[in-house]
Amino acid sequence: MFSIDMEILKNLILNLCFMFTVAWIFNFYKISDNLIAKIKYPAIYYILYFSFISFLGVLFGYSYGPGIVSLRLMGPILGGILFGPVVGLGTGVISGLIRFTQQTEISLYTSVATVIIGLVAGLIHIFLKGKINKVNGTLAVLAIEIVYDILGYFILSKEVWDNFFSVMFLHRSLVDVAAALIFLRMLEISAGYKEELNKFKFLSSEDYLTGIYNIRHFSDTLTRLVSKAGREGKRLGLILFSIEGMELIVSQNGFGNGKMTMNQSAKILRNLCGGNLLFKLPQNVFAIIMLHECNNLEQTKATLGEFLKNSLKEINKELDVLGSTALFPRDGATMPDLWQHAEKGLEMEKQRRLPNPQELQPED
């Protein structure tokens, strides 16, 4: 009895390590995201991915024991539960063919049962309406394991059942359920990370309290909107505002005061933007992508800039606001051209505000 328990423990550890690895690859390195973007039918990728799990179970199973062998079923089970009957059945067919190549006395049964299991897993996905978590997902895996063994009880000969399946049921089920639990838990962790990443992605336009900027989000958004405006034959405006004097504010009153000033600036601009998009960028710069009111971009910039400047003067008289504009397609037909034109205009505004060197020379 002790040896059996140790065998279960060994196989459980092997299985968990294996599933942790494939789940890490699947979720954290986002191989799926990169490939799916290039595939017309995403289900094909998932079928191949979960079939690969079954293939590894066959490939390494006899070297490392039932802890990996049992994963031959995990491909169609997880594929069906997570992505529905198409993925479950497709994975079941491929996995079944792989298992049939083993040419054992139960090859035909295991192949047919693997296909049925994939379909059952897909139907469970429909029953749960795709809302899979580590609890109901793990229970579903256990239920499928029972279905698999019921099929074996009625299809296989009594001798085969007594000598193999009845003994291995508890062993394999414990290992598979534990493997499914860790895989589904990894999915939950990954989903949590993705949710946080999505929050961070839009942090520059939604959260004024942190002062965090996201230049990549701004760049991606502007690229997408420029492309859309080009397809629809519409104009698109870009306004940049630079808050001047922040270095002096921070040096005199500390970073906290400077951060508060930038937050206040963001709130003012947000109230003025209407349906346009506001972004906080490096070097105390705000960008507004003007989806509306592009007819007189310079006037809009002047009105917004003047209001912002007057508001900031109430906080500190040393603060000033400089602005520049760029209009698509007049000032640039691509995102880099539009961005470069606006940046160049802002730099020219800063140069104009610099004191004249002759004025700084002492009088004789």
φ/ψ (deg, to 5) at 277: -100, 130
How far is the C-alpha of 358 from the C-alpha of 364, rounded, in Å? Answer: 13
φ/ψ (deg, to 5) at 283: 60, 35
For 332-361, what is each residue's pLDDT tens digit? 888 888 888 988 998 888 888 766 555 545
Mind listing the domains of the chain with CATH numbers?
A: 2-200 (1.10.1760), 204-354 (3.30.70.270)
How far is the C-alpha of 241 from the C-alpha of 283, rounded, in Å? Answer: 11
3-state helix, strand, coil in the chain (%, to 5): 75, 10, 20
Angle between helices 255-273 and 246-253 (to 10 degrees): 140
Kindly calculate the radius of gyration of the chain based on its CA atoms and give it in whole angstroms: 31
Burial status of residue 11 (CB atoms within 10 A of its CB: 0-12, 13-18, 19 or more) = buried
Distances in Å between the Cα of 21 and the Cα atoms of 27, 193, 247, 342 are 10, 18, 48, 47
Structure tokens at 243: 């808050």
The sign of the torsion formed by the CA atoms of 95, 96, 100, 104 equals positive
Structure tokens at 172: 């394999």
H/E stretch holding 238 reads strand 236-244
**How many other C-beta atoms can be found within 10 angstroms of the C-beta atom of residue 293?**
13
Share of residues in the chain with pLDDT > 70 (%) = 62
Residue type, 311: S
pLDDT score for 29: 44
Are residues 212 and 181 in contact, defined by beta-carbon separation less than 8 angstroms?
A: no
For 71-102, what is each residue's pLDDT tens digit? 677 788 888 888 888 988 999 899 888 878 76
Residue 32 vs residue 196, higher pLDDT? 196
For 99-145, what is each residue's pLDDT tens digit? 787 666 677 777 888 888 888 888 888 888 777 776 777 778 778 77
